[in-house]
Amino acid sequence: MSALSISPPIIEGPSAATLHALNSWKEIATHLGLGVRTVQRYEREFGMPVRRLNGKSRSSVHAYPNELHCWLLLKTKCQTMTVEDRSDLKVALYRYRTAAEEMRTSVRENRRLREEGRVLRAKLHDSVSALANSAAKLMSL
């Protein structure tokens, strides 16, 4: 079986380790066992996968450990990868993408539920106000 015809693994859902972000150059460097300036250079020269808020080039950074490990595998083993290594990498990338998509779906659902809750709270407030007004009218009779 070739590396391109692997079947996707069964995934139970994103784990806390999958979704945990490293939120500074120092955290990223410590995670990789490198210096801050080294990881900054890796991002600049080799395209290390870090993200910035709103895509701004000088804003704070964050990165996901799974992405960093996949990137390192690609950069360090690219020339010597076996079919098994490529399969492992594809499985890891598939798991990461699936977990990331599930997280995006959860965020969208969370936003929808928050908006729905806001609308329901406003309706409840209006109903309680109308009830209080009705009760006040009845008491004045």
For 24-89, the DSSP string reads: SHHHHHHHHTS-HHHHHHHHHHH----EEGGG-TTS-EEB-HHHHHHHHHHHHHTTT--HHHHHHH
Confidence of residue 133 (pLDDT cuts 50, 70, 90): very high
Q: Number of C-alpha atoms within 13 angstroms, CB side, residue 118? A: 6
In this structure, is residue 116 part of a structural domain? no
Residue 100 makes CB contacts below 8 A (sequence gap 6+) with: 14
In this structure, is residue 101 part of a structural domain? yes
In this structure, is residue 128 part of a structural domain? no
Q: What is the pLDDT of residues 54-110, one digit of tens each?
A: 766 777 888 999 888 888 877 765 555 566 666 777 788 888 888 888 999 999 999
In this structure, is residue 132 part of a structural domain? no
Give the structural domain span for 43: 13-108
Q: Which is higher by pLDDT, 79 or 40?
A: 40
- The predicted structure's pLDDT at residue 6: 41
- Sign, CA dihedral 94-12-84-46, equals positive
In this structure, is residue 18 part of a structural domain? yes
Structural domain count, the chain: 1
In this structure, is residue 123 part of a structural domain? no
Confidence of residue 10 (pLDDT cuts 50, 70, 90): very low
